[in-house]
């Protein structure tokens, strides 16, 4: 089984090389902004088309204009989709791609609850309908000291949150990944994390314009192993904050419990901002290995997003903010 999958993916990879070259050229062109008006989809003119929603999603994703670039080389589609952390599908880096078909994403809905005026169960169509999609290239820095550069497609979490009208009591947003005790995913048969996977952000972190709800990458619908159909991307924090396959969003008053903090509070804090000055208890965070590169590179404060997010932590002792 394993060897069949490996063979298949290396056969695919040659096509992807060509694919990616074209992709990069095309996107390079879009960078000029000439096509940014293409962000006005057909659905803008014919609102009823928006109801068709999910069948339109692949097109909306592949046409999403790039709004954020990075002067660093992209990781390949194959790297991004075969080297993953997704413990629900196993702890090995290739487990998520090998077990990807165990994750059923259709139908999908998201429960919204807590301190807000519009709680309820929203279908994926409801969630995605009003949002213009954009492509943003971000670094992803795992707490394990490896990193990638990924072209995500999504929309600002802030725009989604505003639709639910959080009350003034909403100080944090809590998220959960799917977990059905009667039908556990392959990795959920072990209680190595307390399922469901839980994550959370302070409200101002959630509302920061960098925080993305992603539905795709490389111009394609989100692969299951990367957290289909809907996952968070918080580029200035260690990767485990970017929770995958979200089924619940709760507005809460107190700092919510988060899975890695519950598993090991000494090693994984709530904030978990990328910080080369604060070592993990078992390894240094000063440097990282960019997947695909041999030599390590320096890790950047807030993963290189300091200018955009440092203000969120003014007055906090960042040496304790692990």
Ligand X SMILES: Nc1nc2c(c(=O)[nH]1)N[C@H]1C(S)=C(S)[C@@H](COP(=O)(O)O)O[C@H]1N2
What DSSP state is assigned to residue 293?
A: -
Q: How far apart are CA 5 and CA 133, in angstroms?
A: 32
Q: How far apart are CA 108 and CA 126, in angstroms?
A: 10
Selected binder of ligand X within 61, 74, 76, 88 (CB under 6 A): 88
What DSSP state is assigned to residue 17?
A: H
Q: How far apart are CA 228 and CA 152, in angstroms?
A: 12
Stretch that binds ligand X, among 86-94, 119-127, 159-167, 303-311 (CB under 6 A): 86-94
Selected binder of ligand X within 23, 164, 240, 270 (CB under 6 A): 240
Determine contact, residues 216/225, Cβ cutoff 8 Å.
Answer: no
Selected binder of ligand X within 30, 57, 60, 87 (CB under 6 A): 87
Binding partner of 140, given Mo ion, ligand X, none, CB within 5-8 angstroms per partner class: ligand X
Selected binder of ligand X within 86, 155, 195, 251 (CB under 6 A): 86
Stretch that binds Mo ion, among 154-162, 222-230, 231-239, 300-308 (CB under 5 A): 231-239
Stretch that binds ligand X, among 100-108, 155-163, 243-251, 279-287 (CB under 6 A): 243-251
Nearest alpha-carbon partner for 212 in 126, 153, 292 = 153
Q: How far apart are CA 305 and CA 166, in angstroms?
A: 27
Q: How far apart are CA 86 and CA 244, in angstroms?
A: 8
Stretch that binds ligand X, among 9-17, 20-28, 125-133, 235-243 (CB under 6 A): 235-243
CB-count burial class (<10 Å; 0-12, 13-18, 19+) for 44: exposed
Residues 107-166 that bind Mo ion (CB under 5 A): 142
Q: Per the structure block, which two tokens stand in for 226?
A: 């990367």
Q: How far is the CB of 274 from Mo ion (least distance, A)?
A: 11
Residues 3-32 that bind ligand X (CB under 6 A): none
Q: Which is nearer to ligand X, 56 or 288 (CB)?
A: 288
Q: Which is nearer to Mo ion, 164 or 302 (CB)?
A: 302
Q: How far is the CB of 306 from ligand X (least distance, A)?
A: 20
Residue 116: CB partners within 8 Å, gap ≥ 6?
Answer: 164, 165, 166, 167, 170, 251
Binding partner of 268, given ligand X, Mo ion, none, CB within 5-8 angstroms per partner class: none
Chain residue whose CB lies nearest ligand X: 239
Q: Which is nearer to ligand X, 38 or 194 (CB)?
A: 194
Residues 78-107 that bind Mo ion (CB under 5 A): 85
How many of the chain's residues bind ligand X (CB under 6 A)? 17
Residues 130-189 that bind ligand X (CB under 6 A): 140, 142, 177
Determine contact, residues 267/282, Cβ cutoff 8 Å.
Answer: yes
What DSSP state is assigned to residue 91?
A: S
Binding partner of 87, given Mo ion, ligand X, none, CB within 5-8 angstroms per partner class: ligand X
Q: How far is the CB of 31 from Mo ion (least distance, A)?
A: 29
What DSSP state is assigned to residue 48?
A: H
What string of DSSP letters covers 214-276? EEEETTEEPPGGGTSS-EEE-TTB-GGGS--SEEEEEEESSPPP-HHHHH-TTT--SS-B--T
Q: Which is nearer to Mo ion, 31 or 280 (CB)?
A: 280
Positions in the binding site for ligand X (CB under 6 A): 84-88, 140, 142, 177, 197, 226-227, 239-240, 242-245
Positions in the binding site for Mo ion (CB under 5 A): 85, 142, 239-240
């Amino acid at each position: 089984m394993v060897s069949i999958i490996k063979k298949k993916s290396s056969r695919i990879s040659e096509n992807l090389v060509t694919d990616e070259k074209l992709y990069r050229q095309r996107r390079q062109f879009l960078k000029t902004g000439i096509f940014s008006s293409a962000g006005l989809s057909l659905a803008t003119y014919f609102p009823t088309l928006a109801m068709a929603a999910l069948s339109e999603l692949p097109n909306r994703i592949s046409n999403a204009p790039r709004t954020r670039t990075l002067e660093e080389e992209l990781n390949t589609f194959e790297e991004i989709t075969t080297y993953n952390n997704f413990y629900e599908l196993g702890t090995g880096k290739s487990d998520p791609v090998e077990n990807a078909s165990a994750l059923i994403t259709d139908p999908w809905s998201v429960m919204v609850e807590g301190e807000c005026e519009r709680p309820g169960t929203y279908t994926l169509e409801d969630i995605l309908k009003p949002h213009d999609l954009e492509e943003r290239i971000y670094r992803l820095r795992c707490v394990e000291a490896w990193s990638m550069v990924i072209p995500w497609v999504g929309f600002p979490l802030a725009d989604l949150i505003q639709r639910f009208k959080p009350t003034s009591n909403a100080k944090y947003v809590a998220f959960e990944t799917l977990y059905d005790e009667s039908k556990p995913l392959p990795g959920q048969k072990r209680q190595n994390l307390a399922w469901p996977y839980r994550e959370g952000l302070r409200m101002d972190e959630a509302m920061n314009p960098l925080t993305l709800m992603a539905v795709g990458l490389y111009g394609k619908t989100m692969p299951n192993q990367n957290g289909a159909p809907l996952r968070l991307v918080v580029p200035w924090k260690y990767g485990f904050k970017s929770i995958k396959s979200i089924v619940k969003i709760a507005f809460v008053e107190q700092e919510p419990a988060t899975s890695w903090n519950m598993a090991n509070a000494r090693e994984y804090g709530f904030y978990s901002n990328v910080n080369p000055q604060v070592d993990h208890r078992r390894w240094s965070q000063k440097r990282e290995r960019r997947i695909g590169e041999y030599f390590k590179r320096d890790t950047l404060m807030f993963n290189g997003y300091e200018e955009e997010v440092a203000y969120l932590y003014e007055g906090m002792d960042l040496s304790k903010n692990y």
